[in-house]
Structure 1
Amino acid sequence: MRSFWTEFLTAAASHPFPAIPGDIPTPYDFDRSEELFPNVPAAPGMPCAGEDRSIYRRGARRWRKLYRVNGHIFQAKRFNRRAFCAFCQDRIWGLGRQGFKCIQCKLLVHKKCHKLVQKPCSNEHVDPVEVKEDANGESTLGRASSVRSRAEPEPLPETPPAPPAPVRAEDLEPGSQRHYSLEDFELIRVIGRGSYAKVLMVELKRTKRVYAMKVIKKALVTDDEDIDWVQTEKHVFETASNHPFLVGLHSCFQTPSRLFFVIEFVRGGDLMFHMQRQRRLPEEHARFYAAEISLALHFLHERGVIYRDLKLDNVLLDHEGHIKLTDYGMCKEGVRPGDTTSTFCGTPNYIAPEILRGEEYGFSVDWWALGVLTYEMLAGRSPFDIAQAADNPDQNTEDYLFQVILEKTIRIPRSLSVKAASVLKGFLNKNPVERLGCGEGAFLDIVNHPFFKSIEWEMLEQKQVVPPFKPRLEGERDLANFPPEFTDEPVHLTPDDDSTVIADIDQSEFEGFEYVNPLLMSLEDCV
């Protein structure tokens, strides 16, 4: 005779519990049409029926951080000329954004001195400016919106810089200063586009090797912080060239109007593209990708880099099926053990609670994002999806999403194994101190977690483990795994001219941008 508990469990499985009003819907509240990827698209990479891709492929953004002291509104700045602190009178110098500048009265101070300033701001009453766009073309939010004064006071005296020599196109042609120019490459196809950059598939004419080329207009990155971010992306690209699961850099060069990153071409498409077809992944597939991503993040962390932009869009698959992380525009470098930062940035759905709370944070935010991404792979939806949110304008905002991330309990689907549920709870712990990967054991806690028990980590890092999925590719230039909305675009770059836009660009900001990867260079010499 069947026991009472057997009958009870059978009945419970066939009659799911209803959702608690006002709470995050449990897995039982979602039918197939309400998943992250609701149905199979007409063609790979095309939107599903009724799907708004902008909901998922949201760009990362940075919110400008302001420091208010004694009426001043300070913002971190970098100085390319001699500047002196108004408090201690010493010169402001160093790498990156060395000091603070009041956006109202233009007072210049060291970062260490800004809290000691006694002189009140000469213009406290200001009108808010229009919301400014950041490097990715996204609007900044009210948390850190800029302000401007009614009257621009005279700035503190600085040693005037020597007038820059006019930059000519011929000055940027190949020569002793670098090895590559745009003429060295054949432009084949557009494979991606952002608010401030375009990505092309190109061929190096001399070797016939195929690369991806990221093109950025200088006119869009003339802000002090934007220039710093471009330099950071270049440095991280150089570092990433030494790891099998990170997209590496071939070379950098520039023209009077543009910056060019020549990087590895990864042919298999991104995880978002493949999740649109699969909807959710088998547990062994998600485990494999999560393990390779963990190794890539650990490599960056050991070298003092916080990635800060892990999402399905930025996880690429190579022709064998191994992952490669890309897009280092949100990275923070130079982070030593115990160091923290406080920049409010990231892609909304992946932002960690400590960032939303305005706390100082470190590498913990990357492990949170890995938890969100792993949840998406296993459940086919975001852990923060709200049923019917698209029909409720009040629930379809970033502020509401941030509230959900901070306050709501994350429900783990019952269909997942105990080990999978455990690793998700570990990564998605709202307390960064208790989060998986952030304790005393750090990365070893991830390696030793039961969910990853079957992973041979050394073999995995050497790419000796066969991937669970291999993208279908017919050749080196096969673009079947890239959205046709990009690949159908005409391939052209508007030529440089003597327009006022180029004349207004301070070319000295981009000195030293040229670079050639010595390892790739030696390989090409053997061709």
Structure 2
Amino acid sequence: MMRLPWVCWSECVREVGWQTLYCGLNACERLAAAHQLLSPTYPSLDVIIAAPGCNRRLFPNVPAAPGMPCTGEDRSIYRRGARRWRKLYRVNGHIFQAKRFNRRAFCAYCQDRIWGLGRQGFKCIQCKLLVHKKCHKLVQKPCSNEHVDPIEVKDDANGESTLGRAASVRSRAEPEPPLPETPPAPVAAPVRNEDLEPGSQRQYSLEDFELIRVIGRGSYAKVLMVELKRTKRVYAMKVIKKALVTDDEDIDWVQTEKHVFETASNHPFLVGLHSCFQTPSRLFFVIEFVRGGDLMFHMQRQRRLPEEHARFYAAEISLALHFLHERGVIYRDLKLDNVLLDHEGHIKLTDYGMCKEGVRPGDTTSTFCGTPNYIAPEILRGEEYGFSVDWWALGVLTYEMLAGRSPFDISHAADNPDQNTEDYLFQVILEKTIRIPRSLSVKAASVLKGFLNKSPSERLGCGEGGFLDIVSHPFFKSIEWEMLEQKQVVPPFKPRLEGERDLANFPPEFTDEPVHLTPDNDTEIADIDQSEFEGFEYVNPLLMSLEDCV
């Protein structure tokens, strides 16, 4: 079976135009249409199905119905989600994982209480043994792979915790089983506006919003377009099932996302937060609704961008990243999907679930996370890293905008299963010399080489000059940075929108979904520790005051 050459695409575009070719068609149907148009010119072509800019995956069939996927088509290849690879520590058969304890917990080795900030101790994911980080290498009893019965913790008359008799007679050499944690506290009923005393902060609930349409979906969240009934303002609502927030690290990430959303509310190129609330089964982030769609959606229709467009978007993204870095936040998930366009054509970064906060100058972290195609070499090498990983990801994204493909595209990867794996992709990122297309200008090639330097210390934006090195780079010479930050520079492209609720720039695979939340499962809710989500509610005081003026 032959691969459809790009010359065929160019003839097809001249025949019907991009608008007609893409409107309402999925990857399979687009190429089927191209085959019908070009069969007189290329009679030997079979029906070949591919998606431009998506590693050219091939599907030798047509869909059963319009809008349905082809046999063998996996939509995840188009919008590959970010992931975190969890660190595990293996000692004497135990598989320990860092854990945050917000209730009483005691080390099974030294019997002292596990306390402190962050993830203070380790927990075996098999037998649930709890130990201090400093004690986990000293555990001598092998893991039984079975859950260990807990030892009772009692409170004496003075309110202090004491161990039962069984604990007091054990030697230091034999670890204690984990201690029980306090039972979950029930979630308080949502506070209604009319129940609040004058001067107190308003709280929101699901009843305050009308659910309009699904506009996105991630690995553990759904994003809806909603309307606040009282003001008729339109927002996006990110919905997370608590049952999918399975451990303490997940809870930490949700809290981090909330904090970064709060911080981002003060910047023109970051999606800000309106409010947060919860039900017994779900967490809700109400955030700004950005109507212009994401860069992935637009790139799939244009293949590549003019250099002026790419320069404008890269400059605004740089300002957004610099704002986060100044506040101790590593973004870690920059990709086409997370760069949105507002109704004027300015960018806004969204999705802060991969962020690392509290990073001071010179600090580093080591979590292995990110979207595979954008992961920096230092992460793959297992090195400690800082803000440098965001500038690498900006280099990958800028390359995609200018060249219309990833810098790590592998020729004929679809024909070789061994070259179609994440491990092979990581090997390419670490070892392959990145080739800059000759069609790009000298300045564009220079900025790409600067961002995509495999050595973080030599990467553009990571030297002694920091962000000033990016500002002064010849590629950005035409940018008026102060005017750009104040949104006084006219964007090179303005999305076509017919109204505030126009969803023409969102993929139909999302907007065609039914817009309802599945009924709560009482058994599932009973297993959720609701105390983990105490204090999640939040209302942005600035947006609240604006609504009061309506």
Q: What's the TM-score, normalizing by structure 2?
A: 0.77
1:494, CA displacement in angstroms? 2.8
CA contact (8 A) 2:56 2:414 kept: no
For the residues of structure 1 that align with 2:159 and 2:405, how far apart are their CA atoms?
26
> Per-residue CA shift, 1:106-128, capped at 9, x if unaligned?
44344455456677767799999
CA contact (8 A) 1:370 1:427 kept: yes
Cα pair distance change 1:363/1:143, threshold 3 Å: farther
CA contact (8 A) 2:110 2:172 kept: no
For the residues of structure 1 that align with 2:452 and 2:489, how far apart are their CA atoms?
27
Cα pair distance change 1:213/1:395, threshold 3 Å: same
1:96, CA displacement in angstroms? 3.1
Alignment partner of 2:532 out of 498, 502, 509: 509
CA contact (8 A) 2:310 2:401 kept: yes
Cα pair distance change 1:482/1:131, threshold 3 Å: farther
For the residues of structure 1 that align with 2:167 and 2:293, how far apart are their CA atoms?
36
SS in 1 for 2:212: strand
Instruction: Give the match for residue 447 of structure 1.
Output: 471
Instruction: Give the match for residue 70 of structure 1.
Output: 92
Cα pair distance change 1:371/1:150, threshold 3 Å: farther
For the residues of structure 2 that align with 1:136 and 1:214, how far apart are their CA atoms?
45
SS in 1 for 2:521: coil
CA contact (8 A) 1:100 1:114 kept: yes
Cα pair distance change 1:146/1:477, threshold 3 Å: farther
CA contact (8 A) 2:278 2:536 kept: yes
CA contact (8 A) 1:66 1:75 kept: yes
Cα pair distance change 1:9/1:24, threshold 3 Å: closer
> Per-residue CA shift, 1:103-156, capped at 9, x if unaligned?
355443444554566777677999999999999999999999999999999735
CA contact (8 A) 2:184 2:531 kept: no
Cα pair distance change 1:24/1:216, threshold 3 Å: closer
CA contact (8 A) 1:126 1:148 kept: no
1:402, CA displacement in angstroms? 0.5
CA contact (8 A) 2:212 2:225 kept: yes
Cα pair distance change 1:46/1:263, threshold 3 Å: farther
Cα pair distance change 1:11/1:110, threshold 3 Å: closer
CA contact (8 A) 1:131 1:146 kept: no
Instruction: Give the match for residue 12 of structure 2.
Output: none
CA contact (8 A) 2:294 2:341 kept: yes
Cα pair distance change 1:405/1:458, threshold 3 Å: same
CA contact (8 A) 2:216 2:510 kept: yes
SS in 2 for 1:231: helix
Cα pair distance change 1:468/1:394, threshold 3 Å: same
Cα pair distance change 1:127/1:108, threshold 3 Å: closer
Bigger radius of gyration among the two: 2
Cα pair distance change 1:210/1:166, threshold 3 Å: closer
Cα pair distance change 1:360/1:146, threshold 3 Å: farther
Cα pair distance change 1:134/1:385, threshold 3 Å: farther
CA contact (8 A) 2:140 2:175 kept: no
Cα pair distance change 1:340/1:149, threshold 3 Å: farther
1:241, CA displacement in angstroms? 0.4
The CA RMSD measured in Å over matched residues stands at: 9.7
CA contact (8 A) 1:81 1:161 kept: no
Instruction: Give the match for residue 147 of structure 2.
Output: 125
Greater relative contact order (Cα 8 A, min sep 6): structure 1 or 2? 1
CA contact (8 A) 1:126 1:149 kept: no
Cα pair distance change 1:141/1:211, threshold 3 Å: farther
Cα pair distance change 1:526/1:200, threshold 3 Å: same
CA contact (8 A) 1:45 1:481 kept: no
CA contact (8 A) 1:136 1:195 kept: no
> Across the two proteins, how many residue pairs are aligned to each other?
513
For the residues of structure 1 that align with 2:362 and 2:508, how far apart are their CA atoms?
45
CA contact (8 A) 2:32 2:48 kept: no
Instruction: Give the match for residue 30 of structure 1.
Output: none
Cα pair distance change 1:123/1:252, threshold 3 Å: closer
CA contact (8 A) 1:282 1:378 kept: yes
1:24, CA displacement in angstroms? 24
| Greater CA drift, 287-296 or 116-125 | 116-125
Instruction: Give the match for residue 52 of structure 1.
Output: 74
> Per-residue CA shift, 1:172-202, capped at 9, x if unaligned?
9999785111111111111111232111111
Residue segments in structure 2 that go unaligned for 5+ positions in a row = 1-28
CA contact (8 A) 1:64 1:145 kept: no
1:435, CA displacement in angstroms? 0.8
For the residues of structure 1 that align with 2:32 and 2:163, how far apart are their CA atoms?
49
> Per-residue CA shift, 1:285-311, capped at 9, x if unaligned?
101100100110111111111111000
Cα pair distance change 1:80/1:199, threshold 3 Å: same
Cα pair distance change 1:34/1:138, threshold 3 Å: farther
CA contact (8 A) 1:189 1:200 kept: yes
Residue segments in structure 1 that go unaligned for 5+ positions in a row = 1-6, 28-32
1:376, CA displacement in angstroms? 0.2
| Greater CA drift, 195-204 or 285-294 | 195-204
For the residues of structure 1 that align with 2:224 and 2:139, how far apart are their CA atoms?
49
CA contact (8 A) 2:215 2:510 kept: yes
Alignment partner of 2:376 out of 349, 352, 355: 352
SS in 2 for 1:406: helix
| Greater CA drift, 69-78 or 328-337 | 69-78
CA contact (8 A) 1:127 1:149 kept: no
Cα pair distance change 1:190/1:40, threshold 3 Å: same
Cα pair distance change 1:436/1:41, threshold 3 Å: farther
For the residues of structure 1 that align with 2:94 and 2:542, how far apart are their CA atoms?
49
For the residues of structure 2 that align with 1:321 and 1:243, how far apart are their CA atoms?
16
Question: Identical aligned pairs, as a percentage?
Answer: 94
1:265, CA displacement in angstroms? 0.1
| Greater CA drift, 78-87 or 59-68 | 78-87
